[in-house]
A and B are shown apart, each in its own frame.
Chain A
Amino acid sequence: MISEEQQDQAALYALGLLGADEDAAFESELRANAELRDLVRELREAAGGLALTAPSLLPPASLKQRIMGEIAVETKRVVPMPTRRASFGWVPWAIAAALAVFCGLLALDRVRLERQLAETRAADPLMQTTFYTLAPSAPAPADAKATVAWQPGRQSGVIRISNLPAPQPGKDYQLWAVDAEHKDPISAGVVRVDKNGVAQIRFKPVEKAEHVKAFAISLERQGGVPKKEGPILLVGTT
């Protein structure tokens, strides 16, 4: 049971209105109270939604370039650079001997790490997710787009489509997985967009697709077809 006072604190905490001391005291209370943690999470979600009430604007395209440039520089910066050291006659021999021993240890360690990595990959489906960006091809509108998050291990994915107007009566959009080991694209089902041209759907191809090269959306007869017949509207690879 959460008291009214705890609810007061939770609401202020979710909005970042508590002072540093109050914050610390409330966080220690949170650690001990799972129900209170759930409440704070939900209040945070409600507070986060308030951002959507601000008038809708987009930043200029140059900002994205600036940010992508920054992270590219930072990524390069973290690669360790070789450093120069003062040398003495015996040092190279000592280093060579140490390296020889070290390489042996590294080789053993590498085998162990590769095994661990394989185990982690098998256990963590997120590490197996591949993203596909689908771009429009005529006759789809130029601003139509879709993103697919595909998990081969689970043989399922999520597609998010935007700016694709609803098809004419008697027609449906159908999603296809283009797999290297199948002659024909594999149906992943009919996808229906809402009145705003948006869809967000979980899908599962009708056959196993282990080497998906691309996903595509075509315009088909209502209800979908077993083998692609209609024109491709969106297609994309990783």
Chain B
Amino acid sequence: MAGTASAQQMLDQEMIARIGRRDQSAFSALYDRLSGPLYSLAIKMLGDPAEAQDALQDVFLQIWSRAAAYDPEQSSVFSWTVLLTRSRVIDRLRARGRRSRVVVASTEDTLTDAVDASTVESAADTVEKNDEAARVRYVLNNLPSEQRETIELAFFEDLSHHEIAARLGQPLGTVKARIRRGLLKLRERLNTL
């Protein structure tokens, strides 16, 4: 997360630097580390395993071709790849002329049913990621509900802030303020936890 670069962030940056020099073993290692969370994000937004796999393929090919241009001043490798994934998923949603099928309310059961059981990550493999995920979930769940709902709509659905305002029946200024306050609180609490 934000703040001083962690050992993991340094390791990620080193892998990206090697990928920029066309190192396939570093690419393979980065895939092993990030494909789970990025796939999970893609499938939550698209609701379709086949489409999520295509999107993930686009993302990793983009990582391969753009690694040399990665700028650590702008974001960590993890956030960079998350935002790349979100962007590719949104492109797909728009290209197919439909909106995300997944509402922000918990869809865990539905999603798990939609995917072959063999692809569900084993508990042991996800322990570390789940720690971080639990931390983010905890912070997110402790935001005021209207801020949480607005941020989730903004992040997981292909909606502009104008569309979010229309969906929630709130003035645009209110939506902007909720997003700002929610994201600032999220940043602050993740940094202090």
Contact of B79 (CB < 8 Å), options: A37, A44, A56: A44
Instruction: Given A16-B87, A49-B190, decide whether A57 and B115 contact each other with a Cβ distance below 8 A.
Output: yes
* Interchain CA distance A64-B111 in the complex, whole Å: 21
Contacting pair A56 B76 (CB below 8 A): no
Contacting pair B11 A147 (CB below 8 A): yes
Taking the nearest CB of chain B, how far is it from the CB of A22, in angstroms?
Answer: 10
Contact of A48 (CB < 8 Å), options: B28, B83, B121, B184: B83
A52 proximal to B (CB < 8 A):
yes
Q: Which B residues from 77 to 106 make CB contacts under 8 A with A?
A: 78-80, 82-83, 85-87, 90
Taking the nearest CB of chain A, how far is it from the CB of B122, in angstroms?
Answer: 8
Q: Which B residues from 42 to 82 make CB contacts under 8 A with A?
A: 43-44, 52-53, 56-57, 60-61, 64-65, 73-76, 78-80, 82
Count chain A CB atoms within 10 A of each CB in B44, B140, B176 and give the residue with the most.
Answer: B176
Chain A: which residue is nearest B43 at the CB level? A57
A19 proximal to B (CB < 8 A):
yes
Determine the chain B residues whose CB is within 8 A of the CB of A16 once the complex forms. Answer: 83, 86-87, 90
Taking the nearest CB of chain A, how far is it from the CB of B95, in angstroms?
Answer: 17
Contacting pair A55 B107 (CB below 8 A): yes
Taking the nearest CB of chain A, how far is it from the CB of B2, in angstroms?
Answer: 4
Instruction: Given A15-B154, A75-B24, decide whether A46 and B190 contact each other with a Cβ distance below 8 A.
Output: yes
Contacting pair A7 B127 (CB below 8 A): no
Contacting pair A196 B131 (CB below 8 A): yes
Contacting pair B111 A55 (CB below 8 A): yes
Chain B: which residue is nearest A67 at the CB level? B60
* Interchain CA distance A43-B52 in the complex, whole Å: 25
For the residues of A in contact with B, the DSSP-based class is: helix
Determine the chain B residues whose CB is within 8 A of the CB of A66 once the complex forms. Answer: 57
Contacting pair B76 A45 (CB below 8 A): yes
Q: Which A residues from 122 to 148 make CB contacts under 8 A with B?
A: 126-127, 129, 131, 133, 143, 147
Contacting pair B118 A60 (CB below 8 A): yes
Taking the nearest CB of chain A, how far is it from the CB of B103, in angstroms?
Answer: 13
A81 proximal to B (CB < 8 A):
no
Determine the chain B residues whose CB is within 8 A of the CB of A162 once the complex forms. Answer: 125, 127-128
Chain A: which residue is nearest B189 at the CB level? A46
Contacting pair A42 B187 (CB below 8 A): yes
A70 proximal to B (CB < 8 A):
yes
* Interchain CA distance A143-B140 in the complex, whole Å: 32
Taking the nearest CB of chain B, how far is it from the CB of A157, in angstroms?
Answer: 10
A113 proximal to B (CB < 8 A):
no
Chain A: which residue is nearest B151 at the CB level? A50
Contacting pair B82 A51 (CB below 8 A): yes
Q: Which B residues from 124 to 182 make CB contacts under 8 A with A?
A: 124-133, 136-137, 140, 151-152, 154-156, 160-161, 176-177, 179-180
Binding site for A on B (CB under 8 A): 1-3, 6-8, 10-11, 13-15, 17-18, 22, 24-29, 31, 35-41, 43-44, 52-53, 56-57, 60-61, 64-65, 73-76, 78-80, 82-83, 85-87, 90, 107-108, 111-112, 115-116, 118-121, 124-133, 136-137, 140, 151-152, 154-156, 160-161, 176-177, 179-180, 183-184, 186-187, 190-191
Binding site for B on A (CB under 8 A): 4, 7-8, 10-12, 14-17, 19, 37, 41-60, 63-64, 66-68, 70-72, 74-75, 126-127, 129, 131, 133, 143, 147, 149, 158, 160, 162-163, 196-198, 200-202
Given A7-B184, A133-B29, output 4 extra A-B contacts at Cβ < 8 Å. A49-B136, A56-B133, A58-B125, A200-B8
25 example contacts (A-B, Cβ-Cβ < 8 A) are as follows: A10-B180, A11-B184, A16-B83, A16-B90, A19-B160, A46-B1, A47-B155, A47-B183, A48-B75, A50-B136, A51-B40, A51-B85, A52-B136, A56-B130, A58-B36, A59-B39, A63-B35, A64-B35, A75-B24, A131-B18, A131-B26, A147-B11, A158-B10, A200-B6, A201-B7
